[in-house]
Amino acid sequence: MAKIIHSMIRVLEEQRSVDFYKAALGLDIADRYPFDGFTLVYLRNPENDVELELTINHDRTEPYTFGDGYGHIAVTVPDLDAEHARMEAAGITVQPIKEFFREGALMARFFFIQDPDGYKIEVLQHHGRYV
């Protein structure tokens, strides 16, 4: 059986992205591998088996484009309101909290943030299948 181990995104500035993911999601550098022309940085925290891989192409000067295929990364938190307030206090731009209902029952409470390269991140309250 396959096991998901990481998701990769390309970022323009390594330190800016590492700082953002530390402040927003508590992710730390698990490994960092510099190569000729690019660097791979793997981020994680103790709550995760899956890592976020940042790829930094050394000669890249222009922001990346996402086309129409990229959606978002999603994480869950035990206290959505507290995380929303914490991120806002840390200077992270947070969207309003939204609620999503299905057949009259709450399916999800969530908000979105965006990293320095424009990648969207959905932050969901632990609830239902999002635990």
Q: Which residues pair with 64 in a beta bridge?
A: none
Contact partners, residue 5, CB within 8 Å, separation at least 6: 49, 50, 51
Q: Both tokens of residue 16? A: 């800016």
Establish whether 103 is a catalytic residue.
no
The Cα 111–Cα 96 span in angstroms is: 6
Q: Both tokens of residue 17? A: 């992205």
C-alpha dist (Å) from residue 64 to 13, 33, 56, 60, 70: 11, 21, 11, 9, 12
Task: Please identify which of the residues 51, 53, 83, 122 carries the catalytic annotation.
Answer: 122
Q: Which residues are catalytic?
A: 122
